[in-house]
Structure 1
Amino acid sequence: MPIRVSSDELPEAGPSRNSNSPRSSPGLDGDDDLIEEEGWTKETFENRSITKQNPAATPLLRTTMDKLKEVITRIEEGLELAKETAIALEDSKQDEPSIDDVEAAFFKALDQRQLLDIRIEALKELMAQLQAGQDFPNIESSYEELATPKETEYLAKSKRAKYKNSTEYAEFRSAIWEINHTTACPPVSQWLEKGPDDESDDDEIDIGGTTQTYRCPITLTLYQDATTSNKCGHSFSRAAIMDLIDSAKKQRRVSKCPVTGCAAVLEKSDLKANPSLQKRADEFARRERRREDEREEGDDTIAIDDDEEDGDY
């Protein structure tokens, strides 16, 4: 993924000029949507030395990094959509086979995000080295030396090695499990085949085995306008956590997270609406009502049978 630098932005790192040839805007090699503009192309581009004295070098690296972060945001939106799709499929039919296809897409998105994280870390390292005074005769080569080995190492891992400690995958599996089960979700390794180089089961710590709660730890009732803390990740009904914070301020004390064992100090600015969690809470309530109705219908059937046996009509 070489970094393209336009001569307009970085005088010391430009291409051979040709007024009749198109120029690609600064971007990443391998992208299919590089915009061809006047000046240089991928074919005429030449790597030039990048130094700390080049004022455009660091901003260009930072801009590239920001664009990768934007892609990660879209990937995470896709992860949430995949989870909602799997929930809907499981709700329509237990162990619906097409959930496997959704899971495969979920894995692919996790992989893409991890590879982007590796690339972002490589860009950060390049920026740090540049600020420390290191020159880069060929920044593309330097980037590849930082990123490629880590990408290769990650892609060589088995599914179990890649996803067994993934919080997102644990939530994905738990959300599916709770649709048709009332017991705790098994560890995620149940769905992840072990690779030949994986550690023994005795050495593993699985994520899973818990059930998702949709009750506010303050009101002990189902979430109303679910809100999540950016600091500790705990969730609450919005009005309840806001009242708790306001009450603490009136008493001139810090407002600690009300979840047992959490020492995070919360401010209103730390809270963010969580419509996805609220949607799952609403769906959970709907399933509970449906199960209750089914139990009541079952009781009525039993009562009718007993009456018939006694000869009471």
Structure 2
Amino acid sequence: MAGRDVPFSFSSLDSSISSLKNCQTYVDTGMDIATGVALDLLQSGCDTVDVESMESVMLEYAAVNRDLNNYIKAVEETIGKLKQKSPEEIPNLKDLVQERYSTLQSKNNDDELRRTDKFIQFKEQLRDLRKQMGMPSEEPDVDLDEDEDIAVTQSIDNFICAITQVEMVNPVKNKVCGHSYEKEAIEKMIQDRHKKMKLARCPRIGCEYHDVQIPDLVPDTALKRAIEVHNKKPSR
């Protein structure tokens, strides 16, 4: 009889794993909010320390996400092994999962938190917003006076979509080559090319990336904010 109860217990655990995976959505949402707050702080001219505090928040979220992934992995691997053995009695899953989880956690390296996609995108958005708004970068201070007008002109050029040739409203950034386009325009271009069984080349002149995919595109929040700020400024 005990053996017959095991599948039922595993089925219940599968449902619990799904609930844990849903928690990852909340972590992603938290990281998106933290990115938005950091961009707001930067855009409003707040002290660098305030902006950097959001970097710490992002790293904390990344650590939570890593720990959550390790726990889910520990549960899934433990259940997988038990299902293969078809135990006659329900084992102490808590201890088995904790043992596997501890093993996975022992391999953690905090440097890897800075290499997660969300954190990299966070740093890129801050860097791009500083660039688009003509702000000093995080690099050592340099004299920007002579290059100010050139930088502003280059930024304005970056506001124009290579496909529509008009200023972007909802820009997305290609994670592969780094170029940005109007979301609707680039998605339509990709879909049209794929219908013809052809690759979609990046429309930016000089770019050699020849296989743009919709999953490559992420919202370019920094560029969108820079365009909005520029449009609010009185013309000189």
What TM-score comes out, normalization by structure 1 length?
0.53
Give the corresponding residue for 2:196: 253
> Does the Cα contact within 8 Å between 2:128 and 2:222 map onto a contact in 1?
no
Provide the C-alpha distance between the structure 2 equivalents of 1:185 and 1:68, rounded to a whole number of angstroms.
39
Q: SS where residue 164 of structure 1 aligns?
A: helix
The equivalent position to 1:74 in structure 2, one of 26, 30, 36, is 26
* Count, aligned residues: 211
> Does the Cα contact within 8 Å between 1:179 and 1:287 map onto a contact in 2?
no
The equivalent position to 1:147 in structure 2, one of 85, 97, 101, is 101
Provide the C-alpha distance between the structure 1 equivalents of 2:114 and 2:86, rounded to a whole number of angstroms.
39
Q: CA deviation at 1:223?
A: 3.9
- Aligned positions of 1:84-103 closer than 5 A: 84-93=36-45, 95-103=47-55
Which amino acid is the alignment partner of residue 239 of structure 1?
A: E
Q: Say whether residues 1:241 and 2:180 are aligned partners.
A: no
> Does the Cα contact within 8 Å between 2:173 and 2:181 map onto a contact in 1?
yes
Q: SS where residue 104 of structure 2 aligns?
A: helix
Rg (Cα) greater in structure: 1
Give the corresponding residue for 2:146: none
Structure 1's 175 and 242: CA in aligned 2 closer, same or farther, altered over 3 A? closer
Q: CA deviation at 1:279?
A: 4.8
The equivalent position to 1:167 in structure 2, one of 117, 121, 132, is 117
Provide the C-alpha distance between the structure 2 equivalents of 1:233 and 1:64, rounded to a whole number of angstroms.
39
> Does the Cα contact within 8 Å between 2:201 and 2:212 map onto a contact in 1?
no
Q: CA deviation at 1:87?
A: 1.1
> Does the Cα contact within 8 Å between 1:85 and 1:102 map onto a contact in 2?
yes
Provide the C-alpha distance between the structure 2 equivalents of 1:255 and 1:98, rounded to a whole number of angstroms.
47
Give the corresponding residue for 2:74: 122
Structure 1's 223 and 73: CA in aligned 2 closer, same or farther, altered over 3 A? farther
> Does the Cα contact within 8 Å between 1:87 and 1:176 map onto a contact in 2?
yes
Provide the C-alpha distance between the structure 1 equivalents of 2:186 and 2:127, rounded to a whole number of angstroms.
29
Which amino acid is the alignment partner of residue 240 of structure 1?
A: A
Provide the C-alpha distance between the structure 2 equivalents of 1:120 and 1:94, rounded to a whole number of angstroms.
39
Indicate the RMSD between aligned Cα atoms, in angstroms: 4.1
Gaps of 5+ in 2: 141-154, 203-207
Q: Deviations over 1:173-229 (max 9, x none)?
A: 232233334599669xx9xxxxxxxxxxxxxxxxxxxx9x77656446554445689
Q: Deviations over 1:56-108 (max 9, x none)?
A: 23322221211111111011111011111111111222543222332222211
Q: CA deviation at 1:237?
A: 2.8
> Does the Cα contact within 8 Å between 1:178 and 1:185 map onto a contact in 2?
no
Structure 1's 180 and 242: CA in aligned 2 closer, same or farther, altered over 3 A? closer
> Does the Cα contact within 8 Å between 2:129 and 2:223 map onto a contact in 1?
no
Gaps of 5+ in 1: 1-10, 13-50, 191-210, 297-313
Which structure shows the higher helix fraction? 2
Q: CA deviation at 1:287?
A: 3.6
Q: CA deviation at 1:271?
A: 9.5
Which amino acid is the alignment partner of residue 107 of structure 1?
A: L
What TM-score comes out, normalization by structure 2 length?
0.68
Identical aligned pairs, as a percentage? 15
Provide the C-alpha distance between the structure 1 equivalents of 2:67 and 2:60, rounded to a whole number of angstroms.
11
Structure 1's 271 and 265: CA in aligned 2 closer, same or farther, altered over 3 A? closer
Which amino acid is the alignment partner of residue 173 of structure 1?
A: K
Structure 1's 124 and 226: CA in aligned 2 closer, same or farther, altered over 3 A? farther
Deviates more, 1:232-241 or 1:283-292: 232-241
Q: SS where residue 55 of structure 1 aligns?
A: helix
